[in-house]
Amino acid sequence: MKVGLVYDPIYLEHDTGNHVENSQRLVAVLAHLERTGAKGSLTLLSPRRAALEEVQMVHDPAYVAAIESKARMGGGWLDPDTVMCPRSYEVALCAAGGFLTAVEAVMKEQVDSAFALVRPPGHHATHDRAMGFCLFNNVAIGAKFALANYDLDRVLIVDFDVHHGNGTQDAFYADPRVLYFSTHQYPFYPGTGGMNEVGTGEGKGSTVNFPMAAGWGDEEYLRAFDEVLVPVARRFRPQLILVSAGFDSHWADRLAMMQASVAGLAQMVGIVGDLARGLCQGRPAFTLEGGYNLEVAASAVKATFDVLLGKSEAIADPLGRSLRTNSSGFEEHIRRIREIHGLQSNC
C-alpha cells in the first residue's frame, strides 16, 4: 500500500508562543516517525497553497480578507482561544492546500490513502469566524473541492476529535451530498453536537452526532463506530471519505476527559479504512485536528500510518489503556442515537 504524508516546514511558522496548539506538536510527530523508521515507508507529498476561490467555497471573502489584514498588522488574538502571528495567514492557506494535496493524491490514485500533517487545525472555523485554534476549515474546504472537481456526489466526513467540529457541521448542515459523523465529548466546547442535531432541509439526516460522556473510553468509541458509523456509511455509500483526526480523546490529553487509548484510536482508524476499501475503492484522506499530549500525538499518528500501511501488528501503545473508564448510561444513549437515525437491530 502507498500511504501519503503531506508536510512542509512552513507549518511551524504559525507561531503561537506558549499556546497549547503550537509547533512542537508537529516536531514531536515527525521526530517519532523518523526515529522509528516509519517515515521511510511513506510517500512524501509537498503541499500547495490553497487558492482564494477554494477557501471561499467555505469562508466569506470578507472574513478571509480580515484574516489577511490581521496578519499584515502583526497578528494577535482573534478570540480567547485563537491567536495569529504575521505568518499565520500564509500558513493557514498552506494548511488548507495541504489537505487539498491529500485529496488530490487519493483521487488521482497516486496513493491509496493520505494524511495531511498540517496546522493550524480547522474544524471549528465557521463561514465567517475563527475559533477553537482554527482559521480556515481544512476538511470542509477539502470536501467542497472534491465535490466541485471530481465526479462525486457523496462524501463522508468522519470527525473523531474530542471537540465537536461545529464549523464543519455548519458548512454541510443542509447539504445531502455530505454525511458528517462526529464523536465528541458533550457537553463541552464549543457546545454544539447534540444527538438531535441531524441536519436541515435536504440535508436532514446527513449529520450524525454521537456525543460522548466524560469517562467513556475505547469500548464506547468502538461501539459508536461499529454500531452507528458503519451502518450509516453503508447506507450513504460514500465515494470519498475524509477524516478530521483529533487525538485529544486520549486519556492522557489534558484538554478533555475522555479515556481512549492509542490502541483504541488505531482501531477506529482501522474501521474507517475498512469502510473506504469496501465502499469507495480505498480513498481515505486524513487531516490533523487536535491532540496536545506530545507523546500521545506522536504515537497515535504513527499508529494511524501503521494501520493505513496494513501493519496493525506493529502498533505501539506506550501509555496503555486507561483504568478510569466509566460506561454509565451508554446503552440507552446508543439506543437513542440508533433510533434517531433509523438504524434497526439488523443494520
Specify if 345 maps to a domain.
Answer: no
322-342 pLDDT tens trace: 999 999 999 999 999 999 999
Following CA atoms 262, 267, 272, 273 in sequence, which dihedral angle do they give, to the nearest 10 degrees?
Answer: 100
90 inside domain: yes
- Rounded to whole angstroms, the Cα distance separating 224 from 15 reads 36
In a domain, 112, yes or no: yes
d(CA 345, CA 177): 26
Give CA separation, 160 vs 15, 108, 222, 250, in Å.
Answer: 26, 26, 11, 11
Please provide the distance, in angstroms rounded to a whole number, between the alpha carbons at the two ends of the chain: 30
Q: Of 59, 123, 124, 250, which residue is the catalytic one?
A: 124
Total structural domains within the chain:
1
In a domain, 276, yes or no: yes
Domain carrying residue 251: 3-340
pLDDT at 121 (0 to 100):
98
Catalytic, 124? Answer: yes
Task: Answer whether residue 257 is part of any domain.
Answer: yes
| φ/ψ of residue 304, rounded to 5 | -60, -45
- Is the residue at 94 inside a domain? yes
Residue 181 lies in a domain: yes
Question: In the numeric block, which cell numbers belong to residue 185?
Answer: 465529548
DSSP per position, 214-234: TT-BHHHHHHHIIIIIHHHHH
Q: Is residue 346 part of a domain?
A: no
- Does residue 135 or residue 323 have the better pLDDT? 135
pLDDT 10s digits, 149-188: 999 999 999 999 999 999 999 999 999 999 999 999 999 9
Beta strand segments in the chain, E: 3-6, 43-45, 76-77, 83-84, 113-116, 155-159, 178-185, 207-212, 240-245, 284-288
pLDDT at 38: 97
pLDDT, tens digit, 9 for 90 and up, residues 83-115: 999 999 999 999 999 999 999 999 999 999 999
DSSP string, 78-117: SSSS-EE-TTHHHHHHHHHHHHHHHHHHHHTTSSSEEEE-
Task: Please name the residues in contact with 97: beta carbons below 8 A apart, sequence gap of 6 or more.
Answer: 47, 48, 49, 50, 54
Match 507529498 to its residue by C-alpha cell.
Answer: 45
pLDDT bracket for residue 345 (50, 70, 90): low
CATH number for the domain including 323?
3.40.800.20
- State pTM to two decimals: 0.98
